[in-house]
Structure 1
Amino acid sequence: MIRRRVAVTGIGVIAPGGIGRKAFWSLLTEGRTATRPITLFDATGFRSRIAAECDFDPAAEGLSPQEIRRMDRAAQLAVVSAREALADSGLETLVPARTAVTLGSAVGCTMGLEEEYVVVSDTGRNWLVDHSYGSPHLYRYLVPSSLAAEVAWVAGAQGPVSLVSTGCTSGLDAIGYGARLIAEGSADVALSGSTDAPISPITVACFDAIKATSANNEDPAHASRPFDGERDGFVLGEGSAVLLLEEWESAQARGAHIYCEVSGYATRSNAYHMTGLKPDGREMAEAIRIALNAAKLDPTSVSYLNAHGSGTQQNDRHETAAFKRSLGNHAYEVPVSSIKSMVGHSLGAIGSIEIAASALAIEHGVVPPTANLHNSDPECDLDYVPLVAREHRTDVVLSVGSGFGGFQTAMVLRAPQGKAA
Structure 2
Amino acid sequence: MERVLVTGLGVVSPVGLNVPDFWKNLCQGKSGVTRVTRFDTTGFDSEIAAELKGFTPENYMDKKDAKRTDPFVQYAIAACTEAMEDAKLDLESIDKERVGVVIGTGIGGIITFETQHAALLKKGPSRVSPFFIPMMIGDMAAGQVSMRFLAKGPNFATVSACASGAHAIGEAFRLLQKGDADIIIAGGTEATIAPMAMAGFCSMKALSTRNDEPEKASRPFDKERDGFVIGEGAGMVILETMTHALSRGAHVYAEILGYGATADAFHLTAPAPDGEGAARAMKLALEESGLPPESVQYINAHGTSTPLNDKLETLAVKTAFGEHAKSLVLASTKSMTGHLLGAAGGIEFAACVLSIRDSIIPPTINYEFPDAECDLDCAPNVAKKREVRVALTNSLGFGGHNVTLATKKFEG
Fold equivalence (TM over 0.5) = yes
Pairing 1:239–2:233 present: yes
Q: Counterpart in 1 of 2:118?
A: 118
Aligned equivalents of 1:118, 1:41: Cα separation in 2:
15
Aligned pairs for 1:11-410 within 5 A? 11-59=9-57, 61-93=59-91, 94-122=94-122, 130-410=124-404
Please list the CA deviations of residues 182-226 of structure 1 after superposition, one character each: whole Å capped at 9, or x if unmatched: 110000000000100000011101111111100000000100000
Q: Percent identity?
A: 39
Aligned equivalents of 1:332, 1:359: Cα separation in 2:
22
**8 Å contact from structure 2 (residues 70, 136) kept in 1:** no
**8 Å contact from structure 1 (residues 231, 312) kept in 2:** yes
Aligned equivalents of 2:368, 2:247: Cα separation in 1:
47
Aligned equivalents of 1:358, 1:302: Cα separation in 2:
12
Aligned pairs for 1:1-16 within 5 A? 3-16=1-14
**8 Å contact from structure 1 (residues 58, 68) kept in 2:** no
Give the CA deviation at 1:62. Answer: 2.9
**Letter paired with 1:82:** C
Please list the CA deviations of residues 116-160 of structure 1 after superposition, one character each: whole Å capped at 9, or x if unmatched: 1112212xxxxxx71221122101134211121011112211111
Q: Secondary structure at the match of 1:242?
A: strand
The runs of 5 or more residues in structure 2 that have no matched partner are none
Aligned equivalents of 1:296, 1:59: Cα separation in 2:
42
**Letter paired with 1:76:** Q
**8 Å contact from structure 2 (residues 7, 245) kept in 1:** yes
**8 Å contact from structure 1 (residues 279, 317) kept in 2:** no
TM-score (norm 1): 0.96
Please list the CA deviations of residues 104-123 of structure 1 after superposition, one character each: whole Å capped at 9, or x if unmatched: 0000111111111112212x
**8 Å contact from structure 1 (residues 239, 349) kept in 2:** yes
Aligned equivalents of 2:137, 2:26: Cα separation in 1:
33
**8 Å contact from structure 1 (residues 58, 76) kept in 2:** no
Please list the CA deviations of residues 385-418 of structure 1 after superposition, one character each: whole Å capped at 9, or x if unmatched: 000111110000011111100111111011111x
Give the CA deviation at 1:59. Answer: 4.2
**Letter paired with 1:109:** G
Aligned equivalents of 2:280, 2:15: Cα separation in 1:
34
**8 Å contact from structure 2 (residues 35, 47) kept in 1:** yes
Aligned equivalents of 2:384, 2:14: Cα separation in 1:
22
Aligned equivalents of 1:50, 1:61: Cα separation in 2:
27
Please list the CA deviations of residues 230-258 of structure 1 after superposition, one character each: whole Å capped at 9, or x if unmatched: 01100011010110001112212222111
Aligned equivalents of 1:12, 1:215: Cα separation in 2:
31
The Cα RMSD (Å) is 1.1
TM-score (norm 2): 0.98
Please list the CA deviations of residues 293-320 of structure 1 after superposition, one character each: whole Å capped at 9, or x if unmatched: 1111100100111100000110001110
**Letter paired with 1:57:** F
The runs of 5 or more residues in structure 1 that have no matched partner are 123-128
Give the CA deviation at 1:60. Answer: 5.1
Q: Counterpart in 1 of 2:409?
A: 415
- The number of equivalent residue pairs is 410
**8 Å contact from structure 2 (residues 14, 51) kept in 1:** yes
Give the CA deviation at 1:53. Answer: 0.3
Q: Which runs of 4+ in 1 moved over 4 A?
A: none
Aligned equivalents of 1:393, 1:17: Cα separation in 2:
24
**8 Å contact from structure 2 (residues 58, 66) kept in 1:** no
